[in-house]
Amino acid sequence: MMDPVHAMRPGLLQLNALPPLSLYVHLPWCIKKCPYCDFNSHEFRAGADPVSTQEAYINALFADLEASLPLIWGRSIQTVFLGGGTPSLFSPEAIDRLISGIRARVRLAPDAEVTMEANPGTFEKDRFKAFHQAGITRLSIGVQSFDNAHLKALGRVHDREQALAAVTEAAQVFDTFNLDLMYALPGQTLAGLTQDIQTALAFAPPHISIYHLTIEPNTVFAKFPPTLPEDDLAYEMMDRITELTASAGLDRYEVSAYAKPGHQCAHNLNYWQFGDYLGIGAGAHSKLSFAHRVLRQVRYREPALYMQQAMKGEPVTQSTEVSRQELPFEFMLNALRLRGGFALADYVDRTGLAMTSIQQGLQEAEKLGLIGRDLHQVWPTEKGFDFLSDLQALFLSEAD
């Protein structure tokens, strides 16, 4: 782990102020690995004792957090996100211990958003209520689809009835929650997609995330690719999603995220606005800013090795500075996902670079009709949203 004195030494960047700081906690186990999933998730071993495994892992998380404290000293945590894997595999008692331990070790903002990912396949009555009592303020439920045939094709461990029961309880218990859905699924029709979205909207969710199914390397789907809808049909599906969510009062504030006013995901917004985040847990990534540099870290990926290293106070396997050349693209990769774009002043504050470092890319993007801008703000146009990868690529290797 980089020592804070080393991180604070003079450098080529000049950050006027540090951005907001979030905490990401990775809980790596799931019941069964989905064939499309390329996240660092591991099937829970048959015969392993869940109580002792969860206790040992949480001890490792606390050791990891304590080893990281010198790098974030004096900064308050604005949001916490428990991701996975399937965090809802952990018992409410374990989550209570985890949240309490985090509060004891860092300065958590009084109104901090604390999100946990949950899977309907781990749902049982009153479980979500217990998570809420443990300190979770926002639940993100991995529904993916309400259609049993699609759920089976995606390798999900839950069915339609479990999904409906889980969302029903979440809506009763949480003031704000998210439904994760996917589209352009194997064999999916426009009518089937419409039915899925309408079922989700019937719960009046404050937030929905909707992702296009993509085939990622090193997944089961990469080895045995399913037949997916043609691009033209996928575009039609996207148009239908936009139309249905808008009519339900959900604003598409990010490429894949739709929210009612006041229900945007604060944690993800901090990522997209190029804020800082400390990631603890197996395979977790961090991005931390200092006066003259931006640092990225990666934790050991395999859970047993991570726990062993964390207990020694050495959870980090990789620590690198983001170069001046990489910063414009890294910033744009995130900020241009937001419909509102970014303030020019935030670019300067969060990269430590001058506006001249992105001037050429902005001119080219404007000429192509991919962005709009004024003296203070830059934002993607509808065309820019449709061709987001092309827009982001204009900012590769821009800095001196």
CATH no. for residue 228? 3.80.30.20
Q: Can you give the pLDDT at residue 221? A: 73
- Residue 225's closest CA among 236, 212, 211, 214? 214
Q: Tell me, yes or no, whether 184 lies in a domain.
A: yes
Single out the residue in 237, 269, 301 at which a domain terminates.
269
Q: Tell me, yes or no, whether 174 lies in a domain.
A: yes
Query: Over the stretch 149-203, which tens digit does the pLDDT of each residue have?
Result: 888 887 878 889 999 999 999 999 999 999 999 999 999 999 999 999 999 999 9
Let me know whether 254 and 385 are in one domain.
no
Mean pLDDT, the chain, as a whole number? 92
Let me know whether 68 and 182 are in one domain.
yes
Q: What does DSSP assign to residue 121?
A: G
Q: Can you give the pLDDT at residue 214? A: 84
Q: Tell me, yes or no, whether 97 lies in a domain.
A: yes
Let me know whether 110 and 234 are in one domain.
yes
Task: Count other C-beta atoms under 10 Å from residue 33's C-beta.
Answer: 15
Distance CA 357, CA 177 (A): 39
Single out the residue in 234, 249, 269 at which a domain terminates.
269
Mean local confidence (pLDDT), 61-80 = 97
Q: Tell me, yes or no, whether 255 lies in a domain.
A: yes
Let me know whether 157 and 12 are in one domain.
yes
Mean local confidence (pLDDT), 5-22 = 86
Let me know whether 334 and 212 are in one domain.
no
- Residue 120's closest CA among 200, 58, 230, 210? 200
pLDDT at residue 43 greater than cutoff 90: no
Let me know whether 369 and 248 are in one domain.
no
Q: Can you give the pLDDT at residue 2? A: 56
Let me know whether 109 and 224 are in one domain.
yes
Using DSSP's 3-state secondary structure scheme, residue 387 falls into: coil
Q: Give the CA distances from residue 298 to residues 128, 254, 315, 318, in Å, rounded to whole numbers and listed in that order.
A: 31, 26, 9, 5
Task: Count other C-beta atoms under 10 Å from residue 386's C-beta.
Answer: 14
pLDDT-based confidence at residue 5 (cuts at 50, 70, 90):
confident
Q: Give the CA distances from residue 72 to residues 20, 260, 287, 300, 338, in Å, rounded to whole numbers and listed in that order.
A: 11, 33, 11, 20, 27
Beta partners for 173?
none
The percent of residues in the chain predicted with pLDDT above 70, rounded, is: 96
Q: Tell me, yes or no, whether 308 lies in a domain.
A: no
Q: Tell me, yes or no, whether 25 lies in a domain.
A: yes
Query: Over the stretch 269-309, which tens digit does the pLDDT of each residue have?
Result: 999 999 999 999 999 999 999 999 999 999 999 999 999 99
The percent of residues in the chain predicted with pLDDT above 90, rounded, is: 77
Q: Can you give the pLDDT at residue 47? A: 65
Beta partners for 211?
182
Distance CA 29, CA 202 (A): 31
For the chain, what percentages of helix, strand and coil (3-state, to nearest 5) are there?
Answer: 40, 25, 35
Let me know whether 246 and 335 are in one domain.
no
Q: Tell me, yes or no, whether 375 lies in a domain.
A: yes
pLDDT-based confidence at residue 13 (cuts at 50, 70, 90):
confident
Q: Can you give the pLDDT at residue 400? A: 43
Q: Looking at the 3D structure of the chain, how many domains does it have?
A: 2
The DSSP element (H or E) to which 83 belongs, if any, is strand 76-84
Task: Count other C-beta atoms under 10 Å from residue 5's C-beta.
Answer: 8
Query: Over the stretch 209-262, which tens digit does the pLDDT of each residue have?
Result: 999 988 777 777 767 777 788 889 999 999 999 999 999 999 999 999 999 999
Let me know whether 134 and 203 are in one domain.
yes
Q: Tell me, yes or no, whether 291 lies in a domain.
A: no
Which pTM does this prediction carry? 0.94
For 53, the domain range is 4-269
Let me know whether 107 and 220 are in one domain.
yes
Mean local confidence (pLDDT), 322-340 = 95
Distance CA 106, CA 16 (A): 24
Q: Give the CA distances from residue 136 to residues 32, 108, 159, 285, in Å, rounded to whole numbers and listed in that order.
A: 24, 13, 25, 22
| Residue 36 falls in which region: left (phi positive, over 0), alpha (psi -120 to 50) or beta | alpha
Let me know whether 358 and 230 are in one domain.
no
Mean local confidence (pLDDT), 58-85 = 96
Let me know whether 24 and 148 are in one domain.
yes
Q: What does DSSP assign to residue 85?
A: S
Q: Give the CA distances from residue 262 to residues 81, 132, 177, 207, 259, in Å, rounded to whole numbers and listed in that order.
A: 18, 19, 12, 10, 8
User: Edge to edge, what strands does the sheet with 377-380 contain?
Assistant: 342-343, 377-380, 371-373
